[in-house]
Structure 1
Amino acid sequence: MNQAELDLFNDKLDAHAKEVERFHGEVANVTRQIANCDKLVRLANAGLSQIDGKIAEAVRISSAAQHVANEAGAQASAAATAATQAAVTGMLSQLQQATEAARKTSLSLNILQFKTGGWIAVYTVLVLLCCLATGVLTSWALSGKALTPEQAHYVELGKAHEALLANASDKELKQITAIRNRPPKKDQDK
């Protein structure tokens, strides 16, 4: 082998080494993106538990308001025979306030659920688009290239995550969105 052939061989070897290094960088990027998807699912689960707590609180408030309404009705009935018109007016005022508080709480909860569902849907679509774009870019970058077993494993893992998100029901997507929209635990402690 003469010097020109040896130089050509070394140039090809250097070019191949650079291509392998670039490919490893792209695989590391895909791995980070998959880890981010996992982190989003964990955040979604944390958010769901917060929403469950808010729903339980709303049910408790509604139950208390119903109890207050029932009690106020019984007291108003008893007071009508034993007390003056001013006492009856006071009881009716309390009943109206309790009913208004329950109505406002219910309305507020419905608006919150609608907004949360909308943001969850938007965020889920964005995450799916990002995952899909990552897959397309990776497929394009790796087209015609041989994959190592480790790289093939990461590609299959990414496809599995994408399939899980693509096959999620509307209820699951709403739950994921609700989890993602929950405030961090530090905000809850305040």
Structure 2
Amino acid sequence: MKKVLTIGLAFSLVVAPLTVSAQTSDEQLTKDHVVNWNNVWEEVDQNQPSQEIDFGSTVDPSSIGVKKWGELSTGKTAMSKNLLKFTATSTGTSKGKVLTTTTSATTSVRDNNSGKTTNGPKKMAVAKFTAESTASRNYTMGTANSFTGVTIHTATHDGILYDARTSDGILTY
């Protein structure tokens, strides 16, 4: 029993720092990822319905083998309006599926009438937790406005950053 305990303790002392180091570098890679909103907004389809996506792979892209896309994270964007505050809000979420994954969500909302945007903060989460970013724009009551929200989702695993985007739209009056 003492040998098993000693071997288990030795294993955890050797492996634990490696896991923490990999997770720390994944977190840093995620923090360093910068969204170029000008490029993102040029590619957004205002009429695309909201959808949830699965993205990322735990398989090393340089290895030979079957890669299963969508096993690291899920992401979605949801637009909402607050009738009392006259705001349109984009909420972007990224939820990890793997314990060793760092995810992030960074959302932005655009008033399609004026072209003005508001970018939300990058929010990060590790493991199977959810990162949630929000951004809001005011609107004038009685005026028809169209708003689009877009979110950039990232999932970092074993030093590889995967990204994806989702969008949603809403009309206000």
Give the structure-1-normalised TM-score: 0.30
Relative contact order, higher structure (CA 8 A, sep 6+): 1
Bigger share in strand = 2
Give the structure-2-normalised TM-score: 0.32
Bigger share in helix = 1
Instruction: Pick the structure with greater CA Rg.
Output: 1
